Structure 1
Amino acid sequence: MSVGVVVIVGATSGIGRATARAFADRGDRLVLAARAARTLAEVRAECADADVLIVPTDVSEPGALEALADAAIERFGRIDVWVHTAAVMAYGRFDELPERVFDQVVRTDLLAAAGAARVALRHFRATGAGTLILTGSVLGHITAPYMSAYVASKWGLQGLARTVQQELRDTPEIRLCLVNPGSVDTPVYQQAANYLGRVGRPPPPVAGPQRVARTIVDCVDRPRREVSVGRLNVVMRFGFTVLPGVYDVLVGPLMRLAGLSGRTVAAHDGSVFAANPAGEAVRGGHLPDLRHVARSVSGPVGAALRRRFG
């Protein structure tokens, strides 16, 4: 396994932050991008054993992704892997969600992912090889009420990824992998814009972000067109496709029961338009925190636990 140059977009929170740590553990050289410069510096410190360049980047700004690629090439001379995890979320009935919020979620979650793919693929075609990893969602295959902008973005990303994969068939050394998590313990739910009045949460079963990060890293060594992360993803996709009437009857009550907490909240834009460094972390607090257990165990077992849960 050779040391590579890995660009990670959305590196300050959740899956992106866990992925940065996972690639750092491999010894790869990292280019970490996100909106919050202060939090990027924290992530760089967490990846202290790796050679890390941080590039504050707002993916929704024109030219930002091209500038990120230029910075990576200037520092390291090449890009081997581009991982795009940047995403925002909004809760609300479609007709009650402000148009500007809906549009910004789509701009960030779909159009910026398309922009990242465009920049990465142009570089890979010039060099003849590379791996692009996009982070989709099980919500790119199914739907859920009160999340229209996010669902529309992930369905669009699914179609984009499949189309580009077809176009890459004549260049086997350039790979595009789509990683589709189900519910993950990240802060994105608390950070979401909310015009529904109840704070969102990931419905069970919930996976840890480190599990998704391991899947992303594994895609570099074993590229696959699409990887699902989540025990119930296949079941939900089956119900949505084969039993659509039953699915539509059940999904609303289940969403209100499992996908929304009992905590009420006034309408707000969350982190859709601006970063909220105070809310950025690897985990969202929806699973038991096993870090203290990892810290108390010494030797190789403790080191492995710290990599998984730290």
Structure 2
Amino acid sequence: MSRVVVVVGATSGIGRAAARAFAGRGDRLVLAARAPQTLAEVRTECAAAAEVLTVPTDVTTPGTLQALADAAVDRFGRIDVWVHAAAVTAYGRFDELPGQIFEQVVRTDLLAAAEAARVALRHFRATGAGTLILTGSVLGHITAPYLSAYVAAKWGLAGLTRVLQQELRDSPDIHVCLVNPGSVDTPVYQRAANHLGHVGRPPPPITTPQRVARAIVGCADRPRREVSVGRLNPLMRVGFTVLPGLYDALVGPLMRRLGLSDRPVAPHDGVLFVPDPASEAVSGGWLPDPAHLLRVAVGLPGTLGSRLWQRLW
């Protein structure tokens, strides 16, 4: 029997890639995000393979996540998997970042995730089973300058996840998983609030949102406490822990060289307070279209080339 999967943050980046991946498995989907028009687009993308309910949801508004759960149960009778992928970020030196920007990032990335966990786990406790998948970051285990709000939120989420896993030791059929990507080709960098003067970008090596989505689906199939997605994630964590002086000396110059572009930008709030449907997509354009390159290189038909690339990547 197909699962009932809630995906929060389903209109862009990792969340949208995950929605497509679960749809490909034939799971029944409850998709949530702020922009109704983009939710309708994602519903169309998934509806050929899956039954889909869309619920416009602003995760920072009190009560909306409980209303989302109620809508899912009203439609499908239960929730088997809850994926929380809603996230925003902001660039700026901590002392120059407006307080309301810092607070909104933490409210979205940590407090809303905590509320989603509360709602999902109460349902799973009542039914006796379920899997909660939270989207963390390698920046939940290391730090980088100019991303203070995001780092604070993701460190908090990593700690919360560990507590939840400890508290659920008496419930072996209820699982909490944390998926930690490194740099991912999503629009989150362009959509970030920015008070630093330069547009942010993902430092290499950059992975695809589809790869992170496969890790999320993998946790739904075979729950794991924590999954890292990114070739350099283990090395960065070791450097941060074992060689903190060297790490701190290098991370600033590397961030300015690799994590920021030369393109100047005036201060702005990004999508922190108001959604921008025009900027919502799976990919952020930081990588070339790999399926197209593969098709050109080896002359494969379009669908076959895309599938082969996904396996290779």
How does the TM-score come out when normalised to structure 2?
A: 0.95
Between the aligned partners of 2:84 and 2:256, the Cα distance in structure 1 is: 30
Opposite residue 231 of structure 1, the aligned amino acid is R
Between the aligned partners of 1:192 and 1:229, the Cα distance in structure 2 is: 21
Deviations 1:45-64 (A, max 9, x none): 11122100000000000000
Aligned to 2:159: 159
Partner-residue secondary structure (3-state), 2:133: strand
Gaps of 5+ in 2: none
Between the aligned partners of 1:291 and 1:6, the Cα distance in structure 2 is: 28
The alpha-carbon deviation at position 222 of structure 1 amounts to 1.2
CA contact (8 A) 1:10 1:33 kept: yes
Opposite residue 43 of structure 2, the aligned amino acid is R
Opposite residue 26 of structure 2, the aligned amino acid is G
Partner-residue secondary structure (3-state), 1:47: helix
Aligned to 1:23: 22
Partner-residue secondary structure (3-state), 2:149: helix
Opposite residue 2 of structure 2, the aligned amino acid is V
Deviations 1:86-115 (A, max 9, x none): 000000000100000000000000000000
Q: Is the alpha carbon distance of 1:40 and 1:294 closer, same or farther for their aligned partners in structure 2, counting shifts above 3 Å? A: farther
Deviations 1:59-83 (A, max 9, x none): 0000000000000000101000000
Aligned to 1:219: 219
Between the aligned partners of 2:51 and 2:16, the Cα distance in structure 1 is: 16
CA contact (8 A) 1:8 1:84 kept: yes
Between the aligned partners of 1:298 and 1:245, the Cα distance in structure 2 is: 51
Aligned to 2:9: 10
Aligned to 1:263: 263
Gaps of 5+ in 1: none
Between the aligned partners of 2:293 and 2:128, the Cα distance in structure 1 is: 45
CA contact (8 A) 1:199 1:262 kept: yes
Opposite residue 190 of structure 1, the aligned amino acid is Q
Are positions 1:36 and 2:35 aligned together? yes
The alpha-carbon deviation at position 220 of structure 1 amounts to 1.1
Deviations 1:141-162 (A, max 9, x none): 0000000000000000000000
Aligned to 1:233: 233
| 1:271-290 map, 5 Å | 271-290=271-290
Q: How many residue pairs were aligned?
A: 308
The alpha-carbon deviation at position 293 of structure 1 amounts to 5.2
Are positions 1:304 and 2:294 aligned together? no
Q: Is the alpha carbon distance of 1:303 and 1:263 closer, same or farther for their aligned partners in structure 2, counting shifts above 3 Å? A: closer
Identity %: 75
CA contact (8 A) 2:12 2:281 kept: yes
CA contact (8 A) 1:102 1:149 kept: yes
Partner-residue secondary structure (3-state), 2:267: coil
